[in-house]
Amino acid sequence: MTAAAIYAELDSGATQVADQVVQWRHQLHRHPELSNRESNTAAFITDHLRSLNLDEVRTGIAGHGIAAVLRGGMGGDRMIALRADIDALPVRDLSGVDFASKVVDNDYPGGPFPVSHACGHDCHTAMLIGAASVPTGVRDQLPGTALFVFQPAEEGPPVGEEGGAKQMLAEGAPAQAYNCSATAEYRQDVPAVHNTEEWITAALPTFQRVAGADKVIPTIPTLGYDDVSELVDKFGGRYVTLGVQDSGVDPKTGMPVPIPGGRGMAMNHNPHFCADDGPLLTGVRLHAHVAYDHLSGLLVPK
């Protein structure tokens, strides 16, 4: 098969699973669980992974973490890890969507807390379940191994507990205040996410093919927090954000800004944050194309 035929196959697989990805996302959004308490979320993910024809599904990593393995039919030593975080936040869901969360965790340390997916992990998880089902169609053509990593506790485990990417590896921001002052104490020491030039250069052709060249935009450095840095620092990789709200990019600052007539913007971790379903298909395709391109040696830093 030519690369073009494989991309077409991946895109068709992604399109076939697109409606399900939206349904999974809504289901996950309705039933969020806080860091290190993701037992039902993990069971939901595992059920789907086990229904796919994967080589291995390992559960219970660093609490409720999951790693699924797809070995390609063409041998090869290269490996790609696609990762999603699965935990939710102690934030009320004021998104107004009909699948909004009404969940309250009464037992969490320091709680009770309202719980919601105000950081898009419902989308990340649904897209990665979707992506895990896409390359099985071209398994014979895959030179290497794809690993699908579902990581708990990205938002940080409760005080006194271990968890997150660091813990997953071990086993196998400052607050933005609105008219108030705050002191921040770092309970979990997480390195910054670095998108290095060599990885970005290597990945740009893939991103541009999937999303369209005019849709791929470099952004300025931000103080966002994501413990995917634990993985990227060790193995190399990239961190990408998908535009999921009614926003454009301010050409002066490189930051997203609301577009006129849209439903407005809310930052993640805000009770009003809510992602559109539309970009989920792009996310699934991005996962699948990045996986194939990396395994076949097309997406590799020089």
Q: Which of 119, 193, 280, 291 binds Zn ion (CB under 5 A)?
A: 119
Q: If 0-12 CB within 10 Å is exposed, 13-18 middle and 19+ buried, where does residue 168 land?
A: buried
What residue is closest to Zn ion based on CB? 119
Q: Is 154 a catalytic residue?
A: yes
Tokens for 85, please give them.
């975080």
Catalytic residue among 87, 122, 155, 230: 87
- 153 lies in the binding site for Zn ion (CB under 5 A): no
Number of residues that bind Zn ion (CB under 5 A): 1
33-72: which residues touch Zn ion (CB under 5 A)? Answer: none
Phi, psi of 214 (to 5 degrees): -75, -10
Catalytic residue among 85, 154, 227, 230: 154
Q: Cα angle at 86 between 69 and 25, to 5 degrees?
A: 95
Report DSSP state, residue 86.
Answer: -
CB of 8 to Zn ion, least distance (A): 35
- Give dist(CA 147, CA 123) in Å, integer: 18
Task: Quickly list DSSP for 199-260.
Answer: HHHHHHHHHHHHH-GGG-----------TTHHHHHHH---------SSEEE-TTT--EEEPT
15-23, 62-70, 119-127, 186-194 -> range binding Zn ion (CB under 5 A) = 119-127
CB of 165 to Zn ion, least distance (A): 13
Q: Residue 62 or residue 119: which is nearer to Zn ion going by CB? A: 119
Q: Residue 63 or residue 120: which is nearer to Zn ion going by CB? A: 120
Contact 275, 99 (CB under 8 A): no
70-78, 116-124, 138-146, 284-292 -> range binding Zn ion (CB under 5 A) = 116-124
Contact 75, 254 (CB under 8 A): no
Q: Residue 48 or residue 121: which is nearer to Zn ion going by CB? A: 121
Q: Residue 9 or residue 33: which is nearer to Zn ion going by CB? A: 33
SS3 readout for 107-167: CCCCCCEECECCCCHHHHHHHHHHHHHCHHHHHHHCCCEEEEEEECCCCCCCCCCCCCHHH
Q: Residue 36 or residue 133: which is nearer to Zn ion going by CB? A: 36
66-74, 118-126, 141-149, 207-215 -> range binding Zn ion (CB under 5 A) = 118-126
Q: Is 140 a catalytic residue?
A: no
Q: Which residues bind Zn ion (CB under 5 A)?
A: 119
Q: Which residues are catalytic?
A: 87, 154
